[in-house]
Structure 1
Amino acid sequence: MKQTNGMSDAAILGMGTALPKHSVAQSDIAELIASTLQNRSDLARFARRVFRSCGVETRYTCESNYLDPLEACRYLPSHDESAVPTTEERMDKYKREALPLGLTAAEKALKDADMAPDRITHLITVSCTGQYQPGLDVMLIRHLGLSPRVNRLPLIFQGCAAGLKAIQMARDVVQGAPGSQVLVVCVELCTLHFQPVKEREALFAASFFGDGASSCVIGPPESHHQHYLKLGSGYSVLLPDSTEDMTWEVGNTGFDLFLSPRIPKLLGAHLEEELRVLLEGDKLPELWAIHPGGRGIVDSVQEVMRLSDEQTQYSREILRTAGNLSSVTIMFVLNAMRQDMKAQDQTFTEGVAMAFGPGLTAELMRFNYVKAYSSSVKEQDHVLL
């Protein structure tokens, strides 16, 4: 096992993603919401405009009720709101649907990493859209055949940034405890929390969230590993004057999300300086794994960092085909990027990953795509320190 400054190297050795079986066209969701605003024609027109312009074409949901006739949707009723599901009902649905989706992603990640379940030493589970105990971590251990002595680290209610936070936590575990192999599993069922729309601000959150799961295995790369992502330095930062611009609270009919339209501007104002801190004077990398929290966020990062359309294509494509999957999304982006590097027969490519959540929090991390472990990779490790 190779060491760097006394610490083990850490890399994403395998990844897996999963989506629910129900897909919904963005145009259908727009019409569903517009139908609930029959007495607010101005808001209905605004809803259609927001849904057309947010960069999403398709989303996935664990809730088949969204595929029923418009008048039968309990989550977004056109008339009587007394039948809107309670938080208890939504959590019951989460408990039934989260485990199968998480299992699918985790099994793919273990297979991709060629990792036997009994080698996993730590399990980090991530979700902000549902809670129950014994939780997802316990259920995954039982169904995957992990050791009952696995160190469990649930990361809950942290929002969209939590997927990248979990990857950085796993990196720190591997670097600090030689021999560790960490399984990260993120599951988000965002559509369980759709609410009847009463004001414009609520439309932003309703316009791009979807359901999904992602997973990765993080450990020290060994001689047989190929097409992995070597993890470098990173950190989390709270952006100033932004505490109220993204909130996520438990309500009586699900969780209540507020997203301020100021978020892209806030990121544009502060992100460039934070990336200078992260890169420590090094040149800008080629790969940019941007959490697609919305079209405006990707636009803002692209503009302030002067990126090409090719550099943001991974984030925009995930947003277009699946929407914003909260903490799950960053691994979808990294996995798409990794597969493209493999298809292009790239050998070694530098990158930076970023995700954003309540706080307003920016999670930032450097990484490298590596085709195959070799001494030449070892010589380039300085870019990550």
Structure 2
Amino acid sequence: MNQPLYNHTDIAILGMGTALPVHEVAQSDIAELIASSLEDQQDLARFAKRVFRSCGVETRYTVEPSYLGTLEDCRYLPSGDHSQIPSTQERMDTYKREALPLGMEAAQKAMKDAGMSPEQITHIITVSCTGQYLPGLDVMLIRDLGLSPRVNRLPLIFQGCAAGLKAIQMARDVVQGRPDAQVLVVCVELCTLHFQPVKERGALFAASFFGDGASACIVGAPESEQRHYLDLGTGYSVLLPDSTEEMTWEVGNQGYDLYLSPRIPKLLGAHLENELYQLLGNDSLPELWAIHPGGRGIVDSVQEVMNLRAEQTMYSREILRTVGNLSSNTILFVLHAMREDMKARNQSVTEGVAMAFGPGLIAELMKFTYVPAYTPALKEKDHVLL
């Protein structure tokens, strides 16, 4: 049943920032590292090289320098004795040390981009599925960014790749209820901390494209001087049928255990078209498509089912190529690249749709509009579907 949730008011991503670790590693080097760890399983080693070559990634970034050395230097991917593999506790210690600086960098860039000072922030939404501790990342960011101790904290943890877009929609809803709110969203994911020795082909898909990084944005009401922002339309999340076992993420003794089914692109192809038409209603297909690049097959599936042009998926493919899948961060990397290109090309007001996918199998979907200069009340009536 379609029900109006609210009439549209001007709520937008006012600023964005991204951050990457200092350690850059070529995809070919990681492929060789994993293949070397499989010297006693040559069929699996050859399969690993094929998967790594075909997944659409050329470079990734990591907080863990041991991936840059030889197999003997990398405790995460030993070929023989597994007794020295880092425990989950050790991986969480690394997360606690490395996550804050990346989150700080992304948040500071976002506030500068929005022309926002720390004392103006009213809410902070922190997003991560690759590490947990208390007091958490939200508390540390409030302290080190100089935010008000009365900032409303909304941690969003262990929700997978879809959580970045979920956080943006949560921030939009906060501003809808409190128009003077300025919401800082910070996503930090250190996916490479959870690499483990490969035992079967299924594990290679997850190992082939994840990287580390952070992203942030400011969501609030644009003012007359605002330029180059993303007006946030309506959206929703949907649990796709018959897919609960296709993407799982569980805490193990040696990091988090991730399983990604090779069926995911086909499942999205089967169900996503109907959901996107539900979201768009009577609107025509937009020009801009911010697709979470959870892998090349996912982007291929969306492009095929929605009959998109190559240039409409180029932002997602380029992020996948240059940094990999950064879990919850990735959609903001895509939106940031898209906005920067729109600015450079002096584009006019342009409609778009954003989407991200996570365990469930859940699809987060949201309409947005690129706006080069402040335009109040872009849409007087915009409804979300329940």
Q: Settle same-fold status: TM greater than 0.5.
A: yes
Q: Is the 8 A contact 1:314 1:336 kept in 2?
A: yes
Give the superposition deviation at 1:9.
2.1
Q: Secondary structure at the match of 1:244?
A: coil
Whole-angstrom CA distance in 2 between matches of 1:198 and 1:72: 20
Residues 8, 174 of structure 1: 8 Å contact kept? no
**Residue 353 (structure 2) pairs with residue 381 (structure 1):** no
Give the CA RMSD over aligned residues: 1.2
Mapping of 1:140-289 within 5 angstroms? 140-289=141-290
Answer whether contact 2:8 2:379 (CA < 8 A) is retained: no
Tell whether the 8 Å contact from 1:7 to 1:176 is kept in structure 2 after alignment: no
How many Å separate the matches in 1 of 2:167 and 2:212? 19
* Contact 2:7 2:380 (C-alpha < 8 Å) held by counterparts: no
Is the CA contact 1:8–1:178 (under 8 Å) kept in the aligned structure 2? no
Give deviations 1:123-156, integer Å, cap 9, x for gaps: 0000000000000000000000100000000000
Q: Secondary structure of 2:217's partner?
A: strand
Q: State the partner residue of 1:83.
A: 84
| CA displacement 1:221-258 (0-9 Å, x = unmatched) | 10010000000000000000000000000000000000
- Which structure 2 residues correspond to residues 1-385 of structure 1 after superposition, within 5 A? 8-374=9-375, 378=377, 380-382=378-380, 384-385=382-383
In structure 2, distance between residues paired with 1:364 and 1:374: 24
- Give the whole-Å Cα distance in 1 for the aligned partners of 2:287 and 2:160: 27
Identity %: 77
Question: By how many angstroms is 1:374 displaced?
Answer: 3.1
Partner Cα distance (2:8, 2:305) in 1: 34
Matched pairs, number: 379
Q: Distance in 2 between matches of 1:203 and 1:190?
A: 14
How far apart, CA to CA, are the structure 1 residues paired with 2:181 and 2:205?
41
**Which segments of structure 1 move beyond 3 Å, counting only runs of 4 or more?**
4-8, 382-385
**Per-residue deviation at 1:5?**
6.3
Distance 1:48 1:6 in 2: 51
Unaligned 5+ runs, structure 2? none
SS at match of 2:142: helix
Bigger relative contact order, structure 1 or 2 (CA pairs below 8 A, ≥6 apart): 2
**Residues 8 and 381, structure 2, Cα contact 8 Å, conserved in 1:** no
Letter in 1 for 2:281: E
When normalised by structure 1's length, the TM-score is 0.97
Distance (Å, rounded) in 2 between the aligned partners of 1:40 and 1:294 = 25
Rounded Cα–Cα distance in structure 2 between residues aligned with 1:45 and 1:281:
49
Amino acid at match of 2:235: G
Structure 1 stretch 127-136 or stretch 8-17: which is displaced more? 8-17
